Amino acid sequence: MNDSDSVDPIKPLVESLLKELGEDPGRDGLKRTPERFAKSMRYLTRGYSQDPREILNDALFDVTYDEMVIVKDIELYSLCEHHLLPFFGRAHVAYIPNGKLVGLSKIPRLVDMYARRLQVQERLTSEIASILDEVLQPKGVGVVIESIHLCMMMRGVAQQNSFAITSSLRGEFESDSKTRSEFMDLIRHQKPSFA
C-alpha cells in the first residue's frame, strides 16, 4: 500500500474479525485498531517486497581470506505462518569465503528480510543458508537459529520454557566435523563486555 489516501484492504477485514469475536470496532479502544493492525502487518511482512540478491550484491568484495566468518546473536522477529503469532530469537550465521566476502551488516539485513515474512523456523534457517550459498558460492555455510514461539507458549501445549533450535549446514560445515565443531563452539562463546 503506497497510496496514503486509499484504505488498506486489510482494515475492513480486521473490522469484520473484531465483530466476529464479539467486539465493537467502533468503541474507543478499538476505533483505530484496524488501521493500526494493517500498518503493523505491512511492516512485519515487508520482507516479501525485498530481494535478497539486492541486499547482498551491492556489498560483495573479492578477497583471499579463507577463514570462517561468523555474525552471531542476530536478533530476529517473525510471525508463525500457522497461527500468525510471533516467534523471536537469534540467528548465528557463518561462512567460509571462496574468493568473496559480503559486508558484515548485510547478514543481519538478510536475516531480517526473511524473518519479515510469514515463516516457520525451519524454512527461515534454510532460506538464509541457501541464498548465501548461491550468491557467495563459499566453501561452506552454517546457520543456527534459536527462538521462542508464542504459539507454543500462549496456546496448545502452553510450554513457557521451551525454545526451538534449527540448523542448516552446507559444504564444509556439513562434510567436515572439525569445521562444524568449531562453528558450534564459537556460537556458544559468550560475548565479552566491550564497555
Catalytic sites, residue numbers: 80-83, 121, 149, 151
Rounded-to-integer distance, Cα 7 and Cα 189, Å: 49
| Per-residue cell: 116 | 519479515
Q: How far is CA 160 from CA 90, 144, 163, in A?
A: 18, 22, 9
Diameter of the chain measured on Cα atoms: 63
Whose CA is closest to 74, among 97, 87, 86, 90?
Answer: 90
Closest CA relative to residue 94, chosen from 134, 146, 57, 139: 139
Residue 7 DSSP SS3? coil
- For 22: left if phi > 0, alpha if psi spans -120 to 50, otherwise beta; the answer is left
**Strand residue runs (E) in 31-115:** 60-62, 69-80, 86-96, 100-102
Compute the radius of gyration of the chain from its Cα atoms: 20
